[in-house]
Amino acid sequence: MKNSTALSAISRQQLYDIIRASKKITDTYKKQDISEIRFAFEGLQKAVKAVDTEMLEGRWHMLWAEMLMRLTNDAVEGRTVKTMEDAGRVAESMADNINYLKAKFGLKHGRTQESDSAVSDAFRNQLAKVFDDYFTMQQALAEDEAGTAVDAAKQTLNTLKAVDMKLLTGDDHIEWMKKSKEIEKILTDAAQAKTLESLRESFSLLSQQLIEAAKRFGSMGPAPFYILNCPMAFDGSGANWLQQNEQTRNPYLGQMMLKCGGVTGTIPPTTISKEEDR
């Protein structure tokens, strides 16, 4: 079998059919209807089976052998899910495999015209409340106030749980579903922390997640978010955090070295659309 340097137009179209089928699953998941979700996974299985392996030569053939196994497993399991929790787990696996498919086959990355690209202002407004509580936690840690920081962590957790993921579609929905679970676990640990040290460790993990979330989904407000770094945090390992201004208030070293660190980047504010601002 000869090596092919280019993926044929037919094969490329068949792979995009799989991506469209996966998008149908993420959209259907929002409806929380198990029967519709199962049916959507049937569509994925059909799209996977429709790929003509004879059209895939050389490295494409070997790559597809791996993807065929991964996506078939997702489709078969998805067709028989019995709970929304199981459906979410399989949908996450599928999303990871679709991203892998795009990367390995050089398919179009990011958002296409066929994907839901707009993050609604309604979602961003809910997410903004999570950031507000996060900033309260950041200030408390900068002041070495463990009790206040724990209370802020509990409040942030409650606010996070109130964010409606149904306001998101497509890849954004899947990404937030995964990220919110990670953030929830971090905040649960922070809410049970007994020392400033453990609180700060949780806050570092939380900051990483929220920096990524702000970059992905946008931030609301009149000013940018500032990304700051303390190179001395955690015995010189360093750590990032977010602030609403440039005046360094270090949550990792607190009052001992409040001004240690500085701004390394910004996340610009997202303008609220006129239609949703009325």
Write out the DSSP string of 40-62: HHHHHHHHHHT--GGG--THHHH
Looking at the fold, whether 138 and 244 belong to one and the same domain comes out as yes
Distance CA 202, CA 193 (A): 9
Q: What is the pLDDT of residues 172-196, one digit of tens each?
A: 888 899 999 999 999 999 999 999 9
**DSSP letters along 54-109, please?**
GG--THHHHHHHHHHHHHHHHHHHHTT--SHHHHHHHHHHHHHHHHHHHHHHTPPP
Q: Is residue 113 part of a domain?
A: no
pTM for this entry = 0.61
Distance CA 257, CA 250 (A): 7
Q: What is the pLDDT of residues 109-128, one digit of tens each?
A: 444 333 334 688 889 999 99
Beta partners for 241?
Answer: 228
Higher model confidence: residue 211 or residue 57? 211
Domain of 159, in residue numbers: 121-267
User: Which CATH number goes with the domain that contains 25?
Assistant: 1.20.120
Looking at the fold, whether 185 and 92 belong to one and the same domain comes out as no
Looking at the fold, whether 157 and 241 belong to one and the same domain comes out as yes
Write down which residue in 80, 105, 130 finishes a domain.
Answer: 105
Burial of residue 278 (CB within 10 Å: 0-12, 13-18, 19+) is exposed
Looking at the fold, whether 97 and 131 belong to one and the same domain comes out as no
Distance CA 148, CA 231 (A): 25
pLDDT band per the 50, 70, 90 thresholds, residue 1:
very low
Write down which residue in 51, 78, 105 finishes a domain.
Answer: 105
Looking at the fold, whether 155 and 254 belong to one and the same domain comes out as yes
CA distances from 203 to 14, 143, 146, 180, 250 (A): 44, 14, 12, 15, 12
Query: What pLDDT score does 11 carry?
Result: 79
Q: What is the pLDDT of residues 70-96, one digit of tens each?
A: 999 999 999 999 999 999 999 999 999
Q: Is residue 43 part of a domain?
A: yes
CA distances from 247 to 89, 136, 192, 251 (A): 41, 15, 29, 12
Looking at the fold, whether 50 and 100 belong to one and the same domain comes out as yes
Structurally, the chain folds into a number of domains equal to 2
Looking at the fold, whether 46 and 179 belong to one and the same domain comes out as no
Distance CA 160, CA 141 (A): 20
Distance CA 191, CA 88 (A): 26
Query: What pLDDT score does 86 carry?
Result: 93
Query: What pLDDT score does 277 carry?
Result: 40
Which DSSP category does 219 fall into?
B
